[in-house]
Each structure stands twice: as structure tokens, then as C-alpha cells.
């Protein structure tokens, strides 16, 4: 992607990624985790702030570090890295709050032109799946790499 | 700088492996999120758009 993003570190198996957000509130360590769900091959994407001292993760905190676009671009970059490693994986994402899900939707919409050539994206709406449209408030998102 | 520009255009990022992150791989760090995802899968199931081809 052409948008600026933070350098990424990952675990050996590329299930956990870390980056450091740099903004008006200083340095904030972020963790992105791909968690296996009950369905084989489908992973839940979750991310939140990591307290460097304790290693504890908070996925509800609103960092407000003034770099949300760069943070989202970096999270999208982890989806590229993860699906490069696991091309058959399906990734589900939803926010921990409605506001955060909305932020995800806005993020996907912003990057849609770039990512739609590499990914198929579905939106979760009223207990069903539909092809992602940029102007719909979805409850969750499911993506997979175009093969 | 040609190399720098090429790196900026890359969609797949360069990722540094940090083995200190391995300990998180098998930990459920976001239990509420995972539960929400599993409940959604139970209720809605997989998308027919992707499973009936």
C-alpha cells in the first residue's frame, strides 16, 4: 500500500504482530493477534494496546494518538503478511464496540480500491453475509485472499 | 531513491521476526472478541457466497 505504515515485528508463526504507534501521546505499543476460531481455517483478527511494563492487552482503550489512519494501514499490512503465510485463511474482524466497528468499516472503505484487487471482502449484516459495500454499516467483516 | 520507493509501494510489508512474541501465539488475548466471533459463526455460519462454488 502507498499509505505510510509502521514497521512490523511478528512471532515466528506470524500469528502475533507488534508495532509502535508514534503520536501526540507518545509511543504506544500495539498488538495484532490472529486467533483461531472454532472453524478450522477461520481466524479472528483482534488488536489492542499493550502495556510495555505488564504486557497486558487492552482492546477497548481509545488511544487517540492522532495517527489512526497509519495504525489502520499497518493493521491492513498485517492481513497481507498473515495471508501471505496462510493463503487459505479466512479472517473475521469486528470492533470491540460499535464505534470501533464503524472505524474498521471506514478504514476498509478508505483502502478499498487498493485491497479489493487482492482480497474478497464480505460484510456481516442482519445475520447474513453480503459483498462489502463502502457505505453500509456492517457488524463485522470477513476477508480472504484472492487466489 | 529507487529502492526506498519500491519498499513504499510494497503491499506485503517487510516483517521482522521477534521470537519474544511467540509466547502470545497460543494465548487467547482477546477472549470476548473470540467468543463474539464463535457466536457469530454458530448463528450465521459461513457465507454461502464462498462455500457453494
A1 touches chain B (CB under 8 A): yes
Domain assignment present for residue A33? The answer is yes
Domain assignment present for residue A48? The answer is yes
Interchain CB distance below 8 Å, A35 and B21 = no
Domain assignment present for residue A132? The answer is yes
Q: Are strands A57-58 and A90-93 parallel, antiparallel or unpaired?
A: unpaired
Q: Structural domain of residue A127, as residue ranges?
A: 9-145
Task: Give tens-digit pLDDT for B1-42.
Answer: 555 665 555 677 889 999 999 999 988 888 888 998 999 999
Taking a contact as any Cβ pair under 8 Å apart, which residues of chain A between 29 and 68 contact chain B? 31, 33, 35, 37-39, 42, 44, 46, 48, 57, 59
- Chain centroid to Cα A96, Å, comes to 12
- Record the pTM: 0.89
Domain assignment present for residue A53? The answer is yes
Set of chain A residues whose Cβ sits within 8 Å of the Cβ of B19: 11-12
User: In total, how many domains does chain A have?
Assistant: 1
Question: How far is it, in rounded angstroms, from Cα B15 to Cα B7?
Answer: 12
Residues (pLDDT < 70) of chain A are: 1
Question: How far is it, in rounded angstroms, from Cα A107 to Cα A112?
Answer: 8
Set of chain B residues whose Cβ sits within 8 Å of the Cβ of A48: 29-30
Instruction: Give the distance from residue A39's alpha carbon to the nearest chain B alpha carbon, in angstroms.
Output: 8
Q: Are strands A128-131 and A119-125 parallel, antiparallel or unpaired?
A: antiparallel
Domain assignment present for residue A73? The answer is yes
Task: Return the axis-axis angle of helices A98-115 and A68-85, rounded to nearest 10°.
Answer: 60
Domain assignment present for residue A115? The answer is yes
Task: Give tens-digit pLDDT for A3-43.
Answer: 789 999 999 999 999 999 999 989 999 999 999 999 999 99
Domain assignment present for residue A25? The answer is yes
Domain assignment present for residue A2? The answer is no
Amino acid at each position: 500500500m502507498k499509505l505510510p505504515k509502521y514497521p512490523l515485528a511478528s512471532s515466528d508463526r506470524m500469528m502475533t504482530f507488534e508495532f509502535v504507534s508514534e503520536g501526540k501521546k507518545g509511543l504506544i505499543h500495539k498488538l495484532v493477534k490472529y486467533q483461531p476460531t472454532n472453524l478450522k481455517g477461520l481466524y479472528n483478527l483482534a488488536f489492542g494496546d499493550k502495556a510495555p511494563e505488564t504486557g497486558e492487552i487492552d482492546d477497548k482503550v481509545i488511544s487517540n494518538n492522532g495517527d489512526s489512519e497509519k495504525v489502520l494501514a499497518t493493521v491492513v499490512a498485517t492481513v497481507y503478511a498473515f495471508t501471505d503465510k496462510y493463503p487459505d485463511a479466512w479472517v473475521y474482524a469486528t470492533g470491540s464496540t460499535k464505534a470501533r466497528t464503524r472505524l474498521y468499516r471506514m478504514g476498509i472503505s478508505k483502502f478499498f480500491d487498493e485491497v479489493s484487487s487482492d482480497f474478497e471482502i464480505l460484510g456481516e449484516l442482519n445475520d447474513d453475509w453480503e459483498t462489502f459495500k463502502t457505505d453500509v454499516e456492517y457488524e463485522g467483516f470477513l476477508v480472504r485472499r484472492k487466489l | 531513491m529507487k529502492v526506498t520507493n519500491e519498499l513504499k509501494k510494497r503491499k506485503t510489508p517487510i516483517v521482522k521476526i521477534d521470537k519474544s512474541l511467540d509466547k502470545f501465539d497460543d494465548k487467547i488475548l482477546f477472549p470476548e472478541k473470540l467468543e463474539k466471533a464463535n457466536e457469530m459463526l454458530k448463528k450465521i455460519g459461513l457465507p454461502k457466497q464462498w462455500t457453494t462454488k
